[in-house]
Amino acid sequence: MAVENRLGRLEDSRFKEIKRLKKKHTPHRLHWFLEEDYFSEELLGIYRSEVEQFRRVSDEAFYLFQRATDKIISENKLSELGIPQSFHQCIFHSWKNKNKHPFLYGRFDINGGLKSDRSRIIEFNADTCSTLPETLLWQPLQLQQLKRIPQSFNSLKDDITATLSTLKSYIGKDKPVFLGTSFGYIEDVENVNCIIDIAYQSGYKPFYTNLENVIFSDEGVFHQVGNEYEDVDVLFKMIPWDWIFNDEPELAKTLSDLIINEKVVVLNPPYTA
């Protein structure tokens, strides 16, 4: 979102039209979205006071979610959320060791916040939220088309980079192997690839493999490179935890053991389930 100066601006001026970008002028990560006629040719500017309200509401809500998670875990009430007993220890471990199992990113869906309206949190997707290509790639391209490039309320790339860089220091390898995976739907793949791009820039050795081709064993998570199998240090999944422990209990058990024994880091971590 672009940040506009409140003084001297009418409400109608908040929408800025931009020209439709051609495929050759956009990163290949956005090509599928362009073909689906997904993007709008308008930008909505928001005032600094509104930015601060969104920031404050998000910070307060995230703090409350953290407190609620800690209370649920400390009082051993995960079963009341429908999480099977076999997965509890994995959640306990990842929450207790959040420095080694960091929360990477999530998305608040917020109602209101414009025209002095109070902001309200509708939902927090802390596990497998999408909209990464739009946030990381499309928004900066839109802003470049404005005659006067405004400030942007968007630090997602920097935040993810910082988290991955800190995680890399805990892993202790020069180039940890970072594997992204999903069910293989195009939109999911492009979202995962956005994280893979940042992982590469953060010093990881990244790959993408559909879930059906990832190898899970008692020794670790592996992916095939030619005729060899490479051990994965960090697994980033665009696959919900609740699907894993409800529909694939054997996979959940394997991942749980691997995480507890520090043989792999899974993002987002189990406590986001």
One-letter amino acid identity for 88? Answer: H
pLDDT score of 38:
65
Chain length of the chain? 273
Q: Can you tell me the distance from the alpha carbon of 217 to that of 264, in angstroms, rounded to the nearest whole number? A: 11
Q: Can you tell me the distance from the alpha carbon of 204 to that of 67, in angstroms, rounded to the nearest whole number? A: 32
pLDDT score of 148:
66
Nearest to 196 by CA among 186, 183, 205, 187: 205
| Pairing outcome for strands 151-152 and 2-4 | antiparallel
Contact call for residues 181 and 237 (beta carbons, < 8 A): yes
pLDDT single digits (tens) 179-218: 999 999 999 999 999 999 999 999 999 999 999 999 999 9
pLDDT score of 149:
61
Nearest to 113 by CA among 184, 61, 39: 61
β-partners of residue 98 are: none
One-letter amino acid identity for 113? Answer: G
pLDDT score of 48:
86
Lookup: tokens for 98 = 């959040």
pLDDT single digits (tens) 260-269: 999 999 999 9
| Domain coordinates in residue numbering, the chain | 2-272
pLDDT score of 8:
40
Ranges under pLDDT 70 in the chain = 1-13, 21-25, 28, 32-40, 116, 147-150
